Each structure stands twice: as structure tokens, then as C-alpha cells.
């Protein structure tokens, strides 16, 4: 199957704050970087459980 990551607070913050094609704002950058690091680890065969620790700051 295809791995699915559910991170509703981050998804909501991105949806509310970032138009498609625009840069990720600084207050969401670290949280998005954690997701991307997890995705790249999956791609490299290092399947591991999600352990994201960063919550979006000041997103709402």
C-alpha cells in the first residue's frame, strides 16, 4: 500500500495560509521540513513511523 501521513493541524494551516504555488511561510517551514524528511526516508527504503514533533506556530 501507499503510506499516508495524516497531520490535520499542518494541513489546515497550509490550506489557510498558503496559496498554491507560493512559498511556505516561515512559521510553517520546520513542520513541512519534518514531513519532507519522512517522505525522503520512505523513498530511500528507511520506512519508519511518523514522529513529527513540530506543530504549526501562529497559523490560525
Q: What is the mean pLDDT of the chain?
A: 83
> Which letter, b or e, does each residue of 14-33 get, where b requires 16 or more Cβ atoms within 10 Å of its Cβ?
beebeeeeeeebeebeebbe
Give the mean model confidence (pLDDT) for residues 33-41: 88
Indicate whether 60 pLDDT > 60.
no
> Which letter, b or e, does each residue of 46-57 get, where b requires 16 or more Cβ atoms within 10 Å of its Cβ?
eeeeeeeeeebe
Indicate whether 35 pLDDT > 80.
yes
Give the mean model confidence (pLDDT) for residues 41-53: 73
Please tell me the pTM assigned to this model.
Answer: 0.72
Amino acid at each position: 500500500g501507499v503510506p499516508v501521513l495524516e497531520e490535520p493541524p499542518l494541513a489546515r494551516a497550509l490550506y489557510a495560509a498558503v496559496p498554491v504555488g507560493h512559498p511556505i511561510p516561515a512559521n510553517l517551514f520546520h513542520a513541512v521540513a519534518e514531513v519532507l524528511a519522512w517522505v525522503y526516508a520512505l523513498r530511500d527504503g528507511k520506512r519508519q513511523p511518523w514522529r513529527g514533533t513540530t506543530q504549526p506556530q501562529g497559523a490560525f
